[in-house]
Structures are given as structure tokens and as C-alpha cells.
Amino acid sequence: MHPLLQIIYYSIYNILSILKSPFFWIVVGIIYLQYRKIGEMEKGILGQYRKSPVYNVLISSLFGLIGGILGSIIFIYFDISINPRDFYYILPLALLLSIFHPRFMCFSYAGGIISFMNLIFRWPSINVSQIMFVIGVLHLVESFLILWDGRRNRVPVFMEKQDEIIGGFTMNRFWPVPFTIFVNNIDIYPITIMAILGYGDFALSNFPERKSKETASLLFLFSIILLILAGLSIKYHVFKYIASIFAPLAHEIIILVGRRKEERGGYIFTSTEHGLRVLDTLPNSIGEKMALNPGDVILSLNDHRIYSKKDIEDILLIRPKIIWLDVFDIKKGLITKEYKDYQKGINNLGIVVVSNFLDQILIVEESKTLIVKLINKFGKRRKSTFKN
């Protein structure tokens, strides 16, 4: 058998064997709790789950296993091995950095800092090239997971930007990723390690599908460059410095560029005085069956101009058998869409909208880190002390 085919077979066999491990199912349980939390927010906005937490966990687990197989093939094919002692330094630092912001838990930051410390101070004793390889492969797998599955769990949200309520989407995915790698600790032997990879993003000035593709593309480019630098660092010592600086710096630039793009304006899902903008449609709703898309603007319903959701409710109060919408479609321009229900009539389109008359909406704010919360809490206490 060809060596590559042997590696593929061995990787598939090892990764699927993890299904027998209780630890794998503990990780799946942790991910389920995350999806249930997100589902509650989704239920508060849509009134129902788009997809149940159990469904999201099953899909995430499937993609996680595929990602683990891909990562294992790369690790084994390129003969990448690790020393567990190297991660005794990286993991505590990653947890410490996460106090400042959750994104700093990524090994790009802790791995880069520890590697640079090794190069400057000769402490701690680690293999810089191997660490950079591991970080590069994990981000390569993550980029594929975001591309394949990142847009799947989008939730419509409202945020306050520039003193205006705008619509958008939050995307959150989590994957249990087991991967096989060889351990170089006196004897060389393979082990299967569990990792949780995640993707969290907002789409305010872009559509979720396009945003996830952009993020995946940047992350893919980052991982390829880091893998090249890690490979060169084996022969040329100077590339160890370049790789250890590139890992945290480039990763942070990717995040800041994405955030800057979202915050500089040009928001898509804003209210309009010409009609009612669609943010999302409920699963199996009439709006979904009529192919209303995020960003479409409803101009009229049954020849009545529409400016708010109440305008729609007033017209559908009599449960008409036939409805027709004049819609400015984001792709096709001005078109008319029709729907018929002669048995029950139509009393609800099942859409989430952005209008000038928003009632009972859930405004989502970016989560504050633990250290920011402590600073704010301390600041409030000082103010109350001064008042007294």
C-alpha cells in the first residue's frame, strides 16, 4: 500500500476510535451546553430554534471528526512530533491571557510569546519549530471548518452602532477535533489528543456566507505562511524569530482588520424610509417559502405601502387567501412575489425585520472580559466611596 494511503487509513481508524472514549463525549457535552446557550438567544429573537442544539452538536461533531482526520494526516505525513513538556508552559500562559480577552486563549499568542522567550532568554527549553508547526496545522484545519461549516449557525441580532439600531448576524460554531500526533518523549509513540476549535464572529456590513469565506481565506493564508516559516526555521535559525513574532502579530492583525471593517460603517441591515427591510426568515415560514432574503426591502403588500411590521399585521388580520409582495430584491432588483393558501389563509409571514419602529427587540452587546468587568466594578465602588 502507498505510504500516503497508509497514513490516511491509520488516521481515519485512530480518529474514529476516539468515539469509544468517554472524554470525547464529555467534550461533546461541553459543546452542547454552548449551543443550548446560543439557542436560548435565538429562541428569544425568532420565537423558536432554527436548528435544535442536538442537531448543531451532531453536525459540529461530524465536521470535527473530518477536521481531525485532516490534521492527523498532515501531522503524520510531515513527521511532526511534540514534547508534552512544551505545552506545560504554553497552556497556563494561554489561560492567563484569556483573562484580558477570550481570543488570547488561542495558542498563536501564548505559543509565540513562549517561543520568543526561549530565543531571547534560552528559557524555557522548547522546540520552537515544532510548536509553530502545531499552531499552523490547527489553524489550517480551523480555516477549512469555518469555510465548510462556519455560516451554518447564524443568529439574527440587533446592535447599537453610531446611535442607531442596526441588524446583523452573530455566527458561533464549536467543533470537537481529535487528532493523532507523535510524542517525542524518550520513546516516540502516537497519541490522540482532543481539541475544541471555535469560530465566533459578527456580520454587520457583510452577509454571513461572505464573511465566513473571508475569515476562512485569511486564516488559511495565515496558516500556510506560518507552516512555511516553521519549515524554514528547521534549517535557518533566524526564521525561528520570524515565526514566533509572526504567529501572534499576524493573528491579531486578522482579527483587528475584520473588526475594523465591521465597525467603520456601511452597514447592510439598516432601516429604510422606503419600506421594511428583511433581516431573516423563520424556518418553514411563509417568508422562507416566498424566498425572502436578508437585505430585501418589502415595499408593499397587496398594493398597500409597508413601513412597519404593524402594517403587515393589519393587512393579514383578515387572513387573505392570496398575497403579493412588491420587493426590492438584493440580487434581482424590483420584483413581485406571490403566495397562496386557500385552506387556512395567511396571517403571518414569519420574518424578522429592521424598521424605524422597533418594539421588544433584543439588543446584543459585545461581551466584556473578566478584567474589564473587574475594572468597571472597582471604578463604581470608588465613585460610590467618593460620594459618601
193 torsion bin: left (phi>0), alpha (psi -120 to 50), beta (else): beta
Mean pLDDT, consecutive 10-residue stretches, the chain (388 aa), reads 88 94 93 91 82 94 96 93 88 87 85 96 94 96 95 85 82 92 86 88 89 94 97 96 97 88 81 91 92 94 93 94 94 94 93 71 53 54 46
Q: Report d(CA 26, CA 48) in Å as an integer.
A: 27
Q: Tell me the CATH class for 276-354.
A: mainly beta
As given in the structure block, the three cell numbers for residue 235 are: 534549517
Listed by start position, the domains of the chain span 3-263, 276-354
CA angle 316, 320, 323 (to 5 degrees): 85
pTM for this prediction: 0.86
CB-CB contact of 144 with 67 (8 Å)? yes
DSSP 275: S
Of 247, 55, 235, nearest in space to 137 by CA:
247
Q: Report d(CA 87, CA 12) in Å as an integer.
A: 25
Q: Report d(CA 210, CA 217) in Å as an integer.
A: 11
Cβ neighbours around 34 below 10 Å, total = 18
